[in-house]
Structure 1
Amino acid sequence: MSRFKTDSKKKLNIREDKGQLILIHESFDPKDIFTCGQCFNFYEEDDGSFTAVFLSKIINLKSDGDKVIIDNISLDEFYDIFYDYFDLNTNYEKIKNYISIDETLKKATEYGAGIRILNQEFFETLISFIISANNQIPRIKKSVRIISKMYGDYIGEYRGRDYYSFPTAASLSKAKSEDLREFARVGFRDKRIVEAANIINDGYFDFEEDIKMKTPDLRKKLQELPGIGPKVADCILLFAFHKRETFPVDVWIKRVMEALFIKKEVPKKQISEYADKYFGENAGYVQQYLFYYGRENAIGK
């Protein structure tokens, strides 16, 4: 499976209770995690919980004071699948303390205190972020769900809603670009999605080997695919390949960096260079806190 996995897992403060799991964790808030722009395959429910799909599993999570209530997943499944997905081997309290080098970053980490960077499946991440180019999050989410229904496998029903797995590269490579444009509403990205699926299906990437590549080399390899520019490549590096030194620069990050750090308008490349210089190996974490803080508070808009 094309996803990041840790070799060992630390024991969590988690227990089973009446068919649900109760997780006690100081850096885990489903709202912060799912609404900070890093993933698209989820629903926000009326009760404030979040239902997400990952590796053909449906999981529902809700904050309740200092607890996270987790539904529809067994304890074994949580450790086997969602431990790595939620990056639970990483100490985010330590990271937040380390990167809070000024008042701005302190405010950003406090605002998004429950963020965890997801380790997502490679192919779904790649296609999702091709769709994300010059697009809005509600439309991206809708396209991802429609593509899953059209080309994925039926998983089951939860809370009155049917769920489907994200398609494999083999399945999506057989799609017609005109169907993606008409039904999934992906616009100009239609042909790029089918072309990328064909290239992946033909074996252009070997996740287990490619994750060992140096980040600049892997970024270059990603950008050889249709529909993948610098920002999309960096999102894939950060969210699928666990390259936490990566700093994707989109419209919001550009505004935030210019308003809070650089104090003038500059090219995106200069923002990437600034992040590399000042944030280093933790740039990806900084990016997520700043993106969430900046977008939610309309900084620089």
Structure 2
Amino acid sequence: MSWNKLLCNHRELQLLGTLSGGQSFRWIHNKENDEWTGIFSKTVWKLKQENDYLLYQVIGSLLTTTQTIIKNKKQKNTANRIFESLLEQYFRLDFNLSKYYEQWSEKDGLFKSACEQFYGIRMLSQEPVENLFSFICSQNNHISRISSMVEKLCSQYGDEICKHDGVTYYAFPEVEQLAQPEVEPKLRKLGFGYRAKFIQKSATQIVEWGGNEWFKSLQDMKYKDAKQELMKLHGIGPKVADCICLMSLNHLEALPVDTHVYQIAAQNYLPHLRGKKNVTEKMYAEIGDHFRNLYGDMAGWAHTVLFCADLKKFQKSDESNSVVPKKKRKK
């Protein structure tokens, strides 16, 4: 299968930090050929970078616009444009990230240092249903287990997209599928623990409140109002609510504070918070407000760069795992 090309300066998008930095849990990196395989918009993708292009393949899709057989070049070009548009939305490529990096670097010396390696960290624009239930799975969990839980949700309740190289790929389930009464006991058997109840109860509430229309209403609200509405869901606390606001509701000032973010804040910005055993509600608000005052209305995105720079798995990466895309040799 040939690769399609989407013009994208490599300084504007870094796949490694963006796709494996804890935003989404459905991407797998093949280090041998530096390709990424993942799922969003009911579509299975392969991605890689080469010079100033984002290369992509569509392995399979459930989108109605792509179910018909492409018979001529014009239809193929139309389909490619649809997929390019999805990629542009997903990676928020309409944002001139270099400009924002310059602004954030002027305000913060730590950011200026971090962005030398962690350029092109994008805030993904995710689908709210997948984002919300993925982060319910993230509570008191680590990334490999979160990824496993998310895939179980998809294989149990999502529609099959395609089979490829011996792997069956599924779309993320609709919220109505997760609201069924039998979901909780089944997920408990699959090892979800208390999260099983959170998933089924929250799904039921969302359906009762209007499903996708309810999510759209949250996008139109002010950030703090949207956060409060999300926290009415069963098992959704401040951190998960902020993750959803930031990653799928376009409230880019939202800043999820966990113990990791607390350590960054206490060690580098708010020394009076050092040595605390727990992040209190007051501390949570103080940390978020500090970074919003520092970075402005995209504080959540800016802080994600610091978060990636502080992750041990990136600090240990050697030249073979460099974030710099490999240049294609000229023949």
Deviation at 1:257, TM superposition (A): 1.3
Match of 2:144 in 1: 138
Deviation at 1:253, TM superposition (A): 0.9
Question: Deviation digits for residues 161-216 of structure 1, max 9, x if unmatched?
Answer: 21000000111112421211222x22211101000111112235523332111111
- Cα gap change, 1:159/1:259 in structure 2, threshold over 3 Å: closer, same or farther? farther
How far apart, CA to CA, are the structure 2 residues paired with 1:277 and 1:103?
Answer: 15
Question: Deviation digits for residues 215-234 of structure 1, max 9, x if unmatched?
Answer: 11111000000111010000
Match of 1:78 in 2: 83
Q: 108, 112, 124: which is aligned to 1:106?
A: 112
- Cα gap change, 1:158/1:45 in structure 2, threshold over 3 Å: closer, same or farther? farther
Q: Does 1:164 align with 2:170?
A: yes
Aligned residue identity for 1:96: Y
Most deviating of 186-195 and 256-265: 256-265
Q: 142, 147, 154: which is aligned to 1:148?
A: 154
What is the aligned length?
282
TM-score, scaled relative to structure 2: 0.80
Q: Secondary structure at the match of 1:207?
A: helix
Match of 1:3 in 2: none
Deviation at 1:63, TM superposition (A): 2.4
Deviation at 1:157, TM superposition (A): 2.0
Aligned residue identity for 2:254: T
How far apart, CA to CA, are the structure 1 residues paired with 2:285 and 2:200?
Answer: 29
Match of 2:132 in 1: 126
Match of 2:291 in 1: 275
How far apart, CA to CA, are the structure 2 residues paired with 1:167 and 1:41?
Answer: 14
Contact 2:230 2:241 in 1 (8 A): yes
Question: Deviation digits for residues 275-296 of structure 1, max 9, x if unmatched?
Answer: 2322221211122101101123
Contact 1:31 1:50 in 2 (8 A): no
RMSD: 2.0
Q: Secondary structure at the match of 1:225?
A: coil
- Cα gap change, 1:69/1:298 in structure 2, threshold over 3 Å: closer, same or farther? closer
How far apart, CA to CA, are the structure 1 residues paired with 2:284 and 2:201?
Answer: 27
Contact 2:265 2:287 in 1 (8 A): yes
Contact 1:85 1:120 in 2 (8 A): yes
Q: Secondary structure at the match of 2:221?
A: coil
Deviation at 1:108, TM superposition (A): 2.0
Name structure 1 gaps, 5 residues minimum.
Answer: 1-16
Contact 1:148 1:167 in 2 (8 A): yes
Deviation at 1:136, TM superposition (A): 0.6
Match of 1:36 in 2: 21
Contact 2:137 2:195 in 1 (8 A): yes
Q: Secondary structure at the match of 1:87?
A: coil
Contact 1:60 1:70 in 2 (8 A): yes
Q: 89, 92, 95: which is aligned to 2:97?
A: 92
Q: Secondary structure at the match of 1:166?
A: coil
How far apart, CA to CA, are the structure 2 residues paired with 1:186 and 1:292?
Answer: 27
Aligned residue identity for 2:98: E
Q: Secondary structure at the match of 1:51?
A: strand
Contact 1:248 1:287 in 2 (8 A): no
Deviation at 1:298, TM superposition (A): 8.8
Q: Secondary structure at the match of 1:50?
A: strand
Match of 2:189 in 1: 182
Match of 1:117 in 2: 123
Contact 1:173 1:197 in 2 (8 A): yes
How far apart, CA to CA, are the structure 2 residues paired with 1:298 and 1:39?
Answer: 16
Name structure 2 gaps, 5 residues minimum.
Answer: 60-78, 277-282, 316-331
Most deviating of 207-216 and 116-125: 207-216
- Cα gap change, 1:148/1:203 in structure 2, threshold over 3 Å: closer, same or farther? same
Which has more radius of gyration? 2
Q: Does 1:296 align with 2:302?
A: no
- Cα gap change, 1:57/1:86 in structure 2, threshold over 3 Å: closer, same or farther? same
Q: Does 1:57 align with 2:62?
A: no
- Cα gap change, 1:282/1:22 in structure 2, threshold over 3 Å: closer, same or farther? closer
TM-score, scaled relative to structure 1: 0.87
Contact 2:20 2:27 in 1 (8 A): no
Contact 1:155 1:164 in 2 (8 A): yes
Q: How does 1:244-283 map to 2 (within 5 A)?
A: 244-263=252-271, 264-265=273-274, 267-283=283-299
Contact 2:3 2:56 in 1 (8 A): no
